[in-house]
A and B are shown apart, each in its own frame.
Chain A
Amino acid sequence: MCAVICFSLVMMSFMRQPTPIKVYMIGDSTMSLYDIHQFPINGWGMPFANYFDDGVMIVNKAKPGRSTRTFLAENRWKPIADSLKSGDYVLIQFGHNDEGDSIKYKDRFTPVSDYKTNLIKFITETKNKNANPILITPVSRRNFDKDGKAKETHIAYTRAVFEIADQYKVPVIDLDKRSRELIQQLGPEQSKLLFMQLDSAEHPNYPVGRLDNTHFNEYGARKIAEQVLNELKKQNNPLAAHIVAGTNQSNVAPAAK
């Protein structure tokens, strides 16, 4: 008796709950997950995952240090391509390691031509599964010139992303530009608060401190995630329908809740 009831309950729950859309994230350290003993470093994929409804499952497969080439060579892409279902998404953001110095970072360096070929592979294999690729230009580094102007730090690779997006009719989020605008708006001093800049002894995880203009802290990662979320909305990407619509009020009493 119980078996029958339990079985029908399980069947009912199956029928009622459609499988969530999977949003795979592939990229480098600026997007990836981190262990608590690496905090306060956060990839922007971490806060990004907090802003979707139950219809979406974020699967963050980004890995620190990876270029498009090493992501493929380490067989990180194929298992994703194999498990993709119709309607899933793949968010693609590489560049930081592809563009590394060809001698010093020989292990990851990928020339622009190969970078394009690899992006095309991600796109076509995603489309072959009736899934949706979204290209994202590499998030900006914090690099100011002497006049306090935020410099472009990924010129050739960002241009390559646009070329491929155009050629293959893939939505593109210009995170390089958006994030550079944020860095510019905050200016040389204040923008440090977005990045992994820590005094020694400030945080137990970084006993000698850190001076990093590439990797974001938890605050910077969230600001970047907000930019991606808002770009999805602005482009009317169907994925934006699954971004939560919060109900927190704008005004707040001066005292604590």
Chain B
Amino acid sequence: MAIFAFIQQPKHMTIYLAGDSTMANKEVKAYPETGWGMPFKYFWDSTVTVTNIAKNGRSTKSFITEGLWQSIVDNLKQGDYVLIQFGHNDEVPTKKTATTEVQFHDNLLRFVTETRAKQGIPVLITPVARRKFDANGKIQGTHEVYSEIVRKLAAEQNVPLIDLDRESQAMLQKLGPDNSKMLYNHLDKGENPNYPDGRADDTHFSELGARKMAEIVLADIKSLKLDLANRIYVSHLGIK
């Protein structure tokens, strides 16, 4: 019986998160701003460790030049997953971190190739939506070009794709221009001690938005039938 249990015990594995501020861990002094990697790490059973390497302000380029990517490659073990979500800091040409479309493609391809070389499993994620509506209350895409690069690369390289840009836009549309503010770091003046003058941020999430985005990613992990889905925490809360 003990031997049987030993054989059945699945191997421990790590999910690495590679991305920007929309995914990153935050310092307490930046709360309630929340990256979606923060609630995401609580979805898993005890065989999974989520290592969130995502960092504010990073593009595919600066993630590489600062050695963040290498830190993942160095630690990757067979069967580990790497969830890759960039774009926000690649696609703005005026940013120091900007990448051309070709560079963005090539950097993502490098992430995929080097993950596979270590027998890890890459998952590509399109950049999560900004909150931008037109005058008629219709959601506007803000990553059209760079999201399309991610989609095409995923198809070409046969990499599992989570189209978070499209799905988060759908969620924003469903909530509408007003209610969707609750998903982002929108704070009145004097509301929160960390932001005495208030805040109207349509890129970075509140706790609620971060969790909702993490839930989208989780739902896709299930519908893509990734092995990972077998390691989602199983709760019996509310089941009688």
Q: Please list the residues of chain A having a beta carbon within 8 angstroms of any beta carbon in chain B.
A: 36-40, 47, 50-51, 189-190, 193, 201-210, 217-219, 222, 226, 229-230, 243-246, 248-250, 252, 254-257
Stretch from B5-13, B87-95, B159-167 that touches the partner: B87-95
A246 touches B207 (CB 8 A): no
> Which of B178, B189, B191 has the most chain A CB atoms closer than 10 A to its own CB?
B191
Contact with A along B214-240 (1 / 0, CB 8 A): 010011000000000000111111110
Contact partner of B21 (CB less than 8 A), chosen from A208, A210, A256, is A256
B190 touches A230 (CB 8 A): yes
Cα(A85)–Cα(B196), bound, Å? 32
The number of residues on chain B lying at the interface, defined by a beta carbon within 8 Å of a beta carbon of chain A, is 52
Starting from the known contacts A190-B179, A219-B32, 4 additional A-B residue pairs (CB-CB under 8 Å) come to: A190-B178, A246-B196, A252-B204, A254-B202
On chain A, the residues within 8 Å of B238 by CB distance are 206-210
> Which of A40, A205, A255 has the most chain B CB atoms closer than 10 A to its own CB?
A255
Contact with A along B1-36 (1 / 0, CB 8 A): 000000000000000000011100000111110000
| Least CB separation from B44: chain A residue | A204
Q: Could you list 28 A-B pairs, sorted by A, with CB under 8 Å?
A: A36-B42, A37-B42, A190-B179, A193-B182, A193-B208, A203-B211, A204-B43, A204-B233, A205-B235, A206-B235, A206-B238, A207-B234, A209-B238, A217-B208, A217-B211, A219-B208, A230-B190, A244-B29, A246-B194, A248-B194, A249-B197, A252-B201, A252-B204, A254-B130, A255-B95, A256-B21, A256-B56, A256-B57
| Least CB separation from A202: chain B residue | B215
A208 touches B239 (CB 8 A): yes
B192 within 8 A of A: yes
| Least CB separation from B98: chain A residue | A255
Contact partner of B20 (CB less than 8 A), chosen from A190, A244, A256, is A256
Contact with A along B156-195 (1 / 0, CB 8 A): 0000000000000000000000110010000001111111
Contact partner of B235 (CB less than 8 A), chosen from A190, A204, A244, A254, is A204
B32 touches A47 (CB 8 A): yes
A193 touches B194 (CB 8 A): no
B105 within 8 A of A: no
B141 within 8 A of A: no
Cα(A38)–Cα(B28), bound, Å? 21
Q: Count of A-B contacts with CB under 8 A?
A: 123
| Least CB separation from A222: chain B residue | B32
On chain B, the residues within 8 Å of A189 by CB distance are 179
Q: How far is the CB of A91 from chain B (nearest CB, A)?
A: 17
On chain B, the residues within 8 Å of A249 by CB distance are 197
| Least CB separation from B20: chain A residue | A256
On chain A, the residues within 8 Å of B191 by CB distance are 226, 230
Cα(A206)–Cα(B235), bound, Å? 7
Given the known A-B contacts A204-B218, A217-B208, A256-B20, are A250 and B195 also in contact in the complex, defined by CB atoms under 8 Å?
yes
> Which of A36, A39, A245, A246 has the most chain B CB atoms closer than 10 A to its own CB?
A246
On chain B, the residues within 8 Å of A37 by CB distance are 42, 233, 235, 237
Cα(A38)–Cα(B233), bound, Å? 11
B203 touches A51 (CB 8 A): no
B239 touches A47 (CB 8 A): no
Q: How far is the CB of A125 from chain B (nearest CB, A)?
A: 30
A218 touches B194 (CB 8 A): no
On chain A, the residues within 8 Å of B64 by CB distance are none
| Least CB separation from B41: chain A residue | A36
B21 touches A257 (CB 8 A): yes
On chain B, the residues within 8 Å of A193 by CB distance are 179, 182, 208
B203 touches A252 (CB 8 A): yes
A246 touches B235 (CB 8 A): no
B200 within 8 A of A: yes
Q: How far is the CB of B29 from chain A (nearest CB, A)?
A: 6
B206 within 8 A of A: yes
